Amino acid sequence: MPSGQTQATTMNLPNEAYLLPQSIPMWPPVWWTWLLLALLILLIGVFIFYRYRRYKKRTYRREALTAVTKSTDDLSDKECILLCHEIIRRCLISENKTEMAALPSTLLLEKIDRTMPKKYQFSLLGDTFFDGPYRHSVELTPEQRSAMIKTTRYWIRKHHA
């Protein structure tokens, strides 16, 4: 045997020399563990159910956001303003706020502005947004148009009117 390697020495002792206790079962630690496990599974199921229900309930928001985003490039300025007004009213109707949706545009948007932060209020868009649907011709600058779309999209995402 080379001097650099050492042989591991093992002692073969009989197993009868050691008295070991019986193995302790680790699962379930107590009788009510199954109740806790069932409760946890039930809570996860209820959570998933409510998240799915919320997802289905907010489908109109996703559809409205895609309508505003996709179709505003193809529309004229007046049609774009009409689309934003119509989507706001339809979102309110989807939330069962038909009385609020039936208000004239100026009253409706003033009421909506009370629930929104200053940065995203419709009153910042100017009279063109309020009176646009009632004018024969409307011209918006690209900045006004993008601000109108941005504010409408923000309201669709965050509204709790």
Domain ranges of the chain: 59-158
Minimum mean pLDDT range among 45-59, 69-83, 110-124: 69-83
Does pLDDT of 153 surpass 70?
Answer: yes
Give 69-74's long-range contacts (Cβ < 8 A, gap of 24+).
69/149, 69/153, 72/145, 72/149
What is the reported pLDDT for 160? 65
**pLDDT tens figures, 83-141:** 888 888 888 888 888 888 888 888 888 888 888 888 888 888 888 777 777 777 778 88
Minimum mean pLDDT range among 1-5, 30-34, 44-48: 1-5
What is the reported pLDDT for 65? 86
Nearest residue to 80 (alpha-carbon basis) of 30, 141, 15: 141
Does pLDDT of 50 surpass 90?
Answer: yes
**Residues 6+ positions from 132 with CB-CB distance below 8 Å:** 77, 78, 81, 82, 138
**Residues 6+ positions from 147 with CB-CB distance below 8 Å:** 124, 125
